[in-house]
Amino acid sequence: MAILKSSRTSAMLSIFISYFSCSSVLLVTASFQALPSPAPGPASFTFDLPLGIGALYTGLADGRIVRYQRLRSTFVNYGYTAPNRNQAFCDGTNNTFLAPICGRPLGLAFQFGTRRLYAADAAFGLVVIEPYGGPATQLATGVDGVRFRYPAAVDVDQFSGTVYFTDASTRFNLSQLSQLIRTRDTTGRLLKYDPNTRQVTVLLRGLAGPFAVAISSDRTYVLISEFIRNRIQKYWLTGPNANTAEVLLNVAGSPGNIRRTIRGDFWVAINVQTPTVVLRGQRINGDGTILQTETFSPDFNTTLITEVNEYGGALYLGSLYPKFVGVYKP
């Protein structure tokens, strides 16, 4: 009888220990951190090396591109997109009407081999910053006689150097974002820049708020989000369906940027309008299957999420408004 009691006690103790051990794991598996930025609006991120060992870069509302120094836990200036940017006048601003003076880098993408940093700047078009930072060089400001109004996202083919980017509208600029959404504008375009010919080509027209572009790991297609139509399109670059697009996924919310992971799948930033705003990230594959969903509000204390970028085991969260980068570790 004593042995039986002892066995039951041991079994219950084991269950008790296992329960609280698992509970502890659950409690510490998800955490949120805010990295203060020197100006508002870190909307998009890129890294200068693959495989989780590079430095974090982001563009700010005041026209700067900054790099995060982990050892000092601070951001330092790396480059800027406006050719005549006035530091004293621009630093710290979040006034979208000043973008033509100060610049407003949105989408960012490094080409690792050349260490060139491409940016889709809302006022200055497609620009590039050469290795080691400094002022950007304008590569393109329009196509087919139509000037860019709202360059929003960019990605680069690491092998060919071809740059894919979006112009969110031919009618509205960044300071008119609310009008773009309210009128359900469908003049957005997917574009390609060839670094060899220095020519821009329109790949796809009629897009409703294309705030994202991401090239697949096998370089056969790109994904484009449509913020207004709540969907993601897949544009084929090669194969039997080359130069055509199809709806990959209808999203329960308004999708922002799309970022490919080291695994080859993608994170999509999603804004869900309920009585309150719910900010989410969904990881999808190239077939449109949802693999994972994470909810970031209320920890990520903002009304809009623009990007979820997975790197080194963490998710980096962007927005147009807060003065910090959200870092979520699931």
Instruction: Give CA–CA dist 317/33, Å, rounded.
Output: 10
Supply angle C-alpha 317, 55, 301, rounded to 5. 20
Residue 187 CB partners (closer than 8 Å, separation 6+): 169, 170, 171, 205, 206, 207
CATH number among 2.70.70.10, 2.60.40.350, 2.120.10.30, 3.30.1330.100, domain 33-329 = 2.120.10.30
User: Which residue in 45, 41, 176 sits closest to 103, CA to CA?
Assistant: 41
Mean pLDDT computed over every residue of the chain: 91
Residue 308 structure tokens: 């979820």
Residue 203 structure tokens: 């790949």
Q: What is the pLDDT along the chain (330 residues), one digit of tens a residue?
A: 443 334 443 443 343 333 333 332 333 347 999 999 999 999 999 999 988 889 999 999 999 999 999 989 999 999 999 999 999 999 999 999 999 999 999 999 999 999 999 999 999 999 999 999 999 999 999 999 999 999 999 999 999 999 999 999 999 999 999 999 999 999 999 999 999 999 999 999 999 999 999 999 999 999 999 999 999 999 999 999 999 999 999 999 999 999 999 999 999 999 999 888 999 999 999 999 999 999 999 999 999 999 999 999 999 999 999 999 999 998
Q: Is 280 left (phi over 0), alpha (psi -120 to 50) or beta?
A: beta
For the chain, domain boundaries:
33-329
What pTM did the predictor assign?
0.90
Q: Percent helix, strand, coil in the chain (nearest 5)?
A: 15, 45, 40
Asked if the bond preceding 298 is cis, omega within 30° of 0, the reply is: yes
Return the pLDDT at 24.
Answer: 29
DSSP of 62-110: TSEEEEEETTTTEEEEEEES-TT--HHHHTT---GGGHHHH--EEEEEE
Strand ranges in 195-264 using DSSP code E only, listed in sequence order: 199-207, 212-215, 221-226, 231-236, 245-250, 254-260
Specify whether the CB–CB gap between 111 and 99 falls below 8 A. no
